[in-house]
Chain A
Amino acid sequence: MIRPGHLRKVGVSGRGLVVALPYLWLLLFFVVPFVIVLKISFSDIDLAIPPYKPLIEWIGKNSLAIKVNFNNYAFLFTDPLYIHAFLNSIKVAFISTLLCLIIGYPMAYGIARSTASTRNVLLLLVVLPFWTSLLLRVYAWIGLLKANGVINNVLIWFGVIHEPLTMLYTPFAMYVGIVYSYLPFLILPLYANLEKMDWQLLEAAEDLGCRPWQAFYKITLPLSRNGILAGSMLVFIPAVGEFVIPALLGGPNALMIGRVLWDEFFSNRAWPVASAVAILLLILLVPFMMWYQSVQARESAGAR
């Protein structure tokens, strides 16, 4: 770290300029938009462009009318479709996160315990799919899962099944798609955590008579807690609001809240309802985001 004497040399004005630009950018394009979403979630739907009525209006001379309308929220709580979509999104995101952990933890562990050169290659292999378009990778599963797709053809070829299985446009396909797309997000923070692990602790435990599984359960697992949490948040939070994967693999009955928001906005042009959905989704996710940030802060503090 730079000592105070040097900080003073940098000069307050110079420092201010460095952070002011990204700060103002994010304030204008990331924070202010949420205020507008909140505002529009309280306005009336209107058949106009844009399709909502103003919240604050000058009526006559010197009088300002503010009309706050809770109908959009009331609507979301009375129609079971929305509640169902919210609950289903949480369920799908939670199960997908668990599945990612089950598949990703041994992988992250295996990579962390490889030799340095193998480790770099394996890490590259984990990162590579992340750099190729999500849309194209989800699309690949359509080709694999559909009735005359690769998996069915292979199974029929080997005589395992005689009729093609219905896999595409089912919840199964959606889980496969989400786990597949988000797996790298779980492996990377978990690997970063496991990489710092002192493996001698495990050897000590085994020398003292611990079975390998016991040692894992008592030492590795608790020590990698922050990595598990960070990785799980990186999967869970975006998965709750996921749109592309349920839209392409889940079929018409896959009710996910991200998809509901999309349809309200694009198909029904109900911008205020879409905004209310966004606000509720945000209220649901903000605690998890804050949790994620505190875990991250702990992780980087531990690294120093």
Chain B
Amino acid sequence: MNYRRTYFILSCLAFGFAFLYLPILSMVVFSFNASKLVTVWDAAHSPTLKWYYALLSNEEILDAAWISLKVAVINASGAVILGTLAGFGLARFTQFRGRFTLNAMTTAPLVMPEVITGLSLLLLFVALEQSIGWPAGRGITTMTIAHMTFSMAYVTVVVQSRMATFDSALEEAAMDLGARPLKVFFVITLPIIFPAVLSGWLLAFTLSWDDLVISSFTSGPGSSTLPMVVFSKVRLGVSPEINVLATITISVVTMMIVGVSIWMSRAAKIEKAG
């Protein structure tokens, strides 16, 4: 390979990753800054954990985080069931009526602007409440349904692409040996695609935990999620507590992602060896 081109590509990579990571790094650094001005380093009193204490005693943020956590967990579990079914169906059943529609319905939410999804779901909930009385008002239930609708599309993609790469001969062999389809799914298919299902769950959890726009449309009074509280704070400018929140989020996500990918690459090695 041409040396000069390598050099060019390397500098592009370096620039790109610096662009992706410097903002994140700056939040981490300034979360330890004592000054309320956030980006002006107060060398005399920093580093300090004072904003960490402030965040952890901020009732508003803690309440919102609790609501976000509930919604995210229920959403992820529901979305994994729906998305695994859809991904499995799309990958294994190559011909059935409605396949095209199902494919379109699981691709569109990935690119649909959130304001449209949010508005349309809210109008649906209002119309449903008017005609059948359910859901009564808006809150955690409506938000969870809304989140499941867009996050199941992501789970579908993850599961579908995993299904496409594994050999269906294993399933066929089990069926030839007399196993019933349901048993084949739980004994053969599910263990093999489990890493994909797990990443689907984590992805659905994160999408829900981070969502601002769709939550704002579908939530009700008293059910503000963490992003909604953060958004209203951030609109007024920078706040040291948000840097702390960002640092905590980044640390948890990094540990989770690194852990899962190490586990998955190990699982892949075992699969290859066996």
Contacts and interface: CB of A to CB of B under 8 A. Distances in A.
Contact of B19 (A136, A180, A238, A240): A180
Contact of B113 (A50, A120, A285): A285
Contacts of B82: 21-22, 25
Interface string B210-241: 10110011000000000100110011011000
B121 A129 contact: no
Nearest to A4: B95
A15 B93 contact: yes
B108 A289 contact: yes
B89 interface: yes
Contacts of A110: 9-10, 12-13
A37 interface: yes
Secondary structure type dominating chain B contacts:
helix
Interface string A258-283: 10011001100001001100100110
A146 B156 contact: no
Contacts of B210: 132-135
B120 to A, nearest CB: 3
B126 A50 contact: yes
A138 B88 CA distance: 35
A106 B22 CA distance: 19
A124 B257 contact: yes
A6 B237 CA distance: 61
B23 A140 contact: yes
Contacts of A293: 103-104, 107
Secondary structure type dominating chain A contacts:
helix
Contacts of B148: 25, 29
B20 A180 contact: yes
A248 B235 contact: yes
Contact of B235 (A29, A247, A278, A282): A247
B144 to A, nearest CB: 11
A101 to B, nearest CB: 12
A274 B123 CA distance: 11
A144 B26 contact: yes
Interface string B103-131: 11111111111111001110110110010
Contact of B85 (A21, A111, A140, A143): A21
Interface stretch (B42-50, B53-61, B245-253): B245-253
Interface stretch (A66-74, A79-87, A147-155, A221-229): A147-155
Interface in A172-196: 180, 183-184
Interface string B1-41: 11001001110110111011111101100100000011110
A33 B27 contact: no
B123 A106 contact: no
Contacts of B145: 29
Contacts of B242: 136, 139
Nearest to A260: B115
A92 to B, nearest CB: 13
A91 to B, nearest CB: 16
Contact of A146 (B23, B101, B238): B238
Interface pairs A-B: 10 shortest CB-CB: A241-B113, A33-B120, A106-B12, A140-B23, A22-B86, A19-B89, A33-B124, A26-B105, A237-B111, A133-B210
6 contacts: A19-B90, A124-B258, A132-B253, A139-B242, A144-B23, A150-B39
Interface of B: 1-2, 5, 8-10, 12-13, 15-17, 19-24, 26-27, 30, 37-40, 81-83, 85-86, 88-90, 92-94, 96, 98, 101-116, 119-121, 123-124, 126-127, 130, 145-146, 148-149, 152, 156, 164, 168, 171-172, 175, 181-182, 206, 209-210, 212-213, 216-217, 227, 230-231, 234-235, 237-238, 242-243, 245-246, 249-250, 253-254, 256-258, 261, 265
